[in-house]
Amino acid sequence: MSNATTGKEVERLIEDSIAHQPDIIEKLRIKFKINSDLKNTSGAGVHGEKSDVRVNFECGRYLDLNIKGFSGNSGFNQLTRASISNFSERFDISDFDKNELEELVINKSRNVTLPLFPADKVEKWRTFFNAKANDIIKWSFSYKSSREALVLVNKTSREVHLYMMADVLRHLKKDIVFTKGGVNIGNCVSFQRKGGNGAHAAHIDKHTIQHPGNNIQIKLRCKKFISSFESYLLGKYFY
C-alpha cells in the first residue's frame, strides 16, 4: 500500500471519528472562539490539494486539520516534499546554490554513507537554514492559513493527539544541527534527501535530479514531538 493511500485512510478515520468526540469538539470550539454547534466533518481538498479533514460548524466557520499518521515503530511522518527546483524557488535560493544543492543530493544518491552536506559546505548552508528555518517550518506544517490544527495519529496504538497550529509554529525549536542525513531543525524536524527506489519511476536514472528519490523532504519525529509538546496538547482520544 502506498504512503498516499495510507494517508487517505488515516484522514478518513479522523473524519469519521472526530465528530463522535464531543469533548474534543468542545475544546476546539473554546480554543478557536467558535460560538456555534458542529455541523459535520468533511475532506478539505476541494481543488485537488491534499485533503486532510475539515470540521464545519453551523455558523459557517470551519477548521482545517492537518492529519499526520505514523507507525508506533518508526515514529516518523513526511510533512512535505519538493523538487529542488521548487524548493529553491520558494526559498529564494540562487541558481548557483540550487545547482550546488542538486549536486550534493546526487552525490548522496551515489553513496548514502556520505553526509548530505560535506564539511566544507556546512557553514555556508548553516547560514541559509538559520535564516529560513521559521519559513521552512511554516511551509511544512501549514502552507494554508486555514490549517489551524495539527492532528497526529499513532496507527499502532490508535491514539489521536490534537494541537493548535499556532502553538506548533510558535514553540517548535529551530536550532540547526547538521547530520549525515541532512539537517535537523530543532529536535523534531529534519531536512533530507527523500531517497527510496521510486517504484513508479523505474525508467529514470536513480542518479539524476529527475528521479523522485532525489527530491528533498521535511520529516517529523512524531514521538519526539508528542513528548516535547505535552504542555500544548489540546486533546486526545482513541479511535
At 93, is the pLDDT very low, low, confident or very high (cuts 50, 70, 90)?
Answer: very high
State the pLDDT at residue 14: 97
Q: Indicate the length of the chain as a whole number.
A: 239
Residue with cell 504512503: 3
State the pLDDT at residue 201: 78
Residue 188 Cα to chain centre, angstroms: 11
Average pLDDT, the chain: 93
- pLDDT for 21-59, tens place per residue? 999 999 999 999 999 999 999 986 544 445 589 999 999
**What DSSP element (H or E) covers 38?**
strand 38-43
Q: Considering the chain, what percentage of its residues have pLDDT values greater than 70? A: 94
How far apart CA 91 and CA 220 sit, in angstroms, is 20
- pLDDT for 165-201, tens place per residue? 999 999 999 999 999 999 999 999 999 999 987 667 7
pTM of the model: 0.91
Residues 6+ apart with CB under 8 A from 77: 68, 69, 70, 152, 219, 220, 222
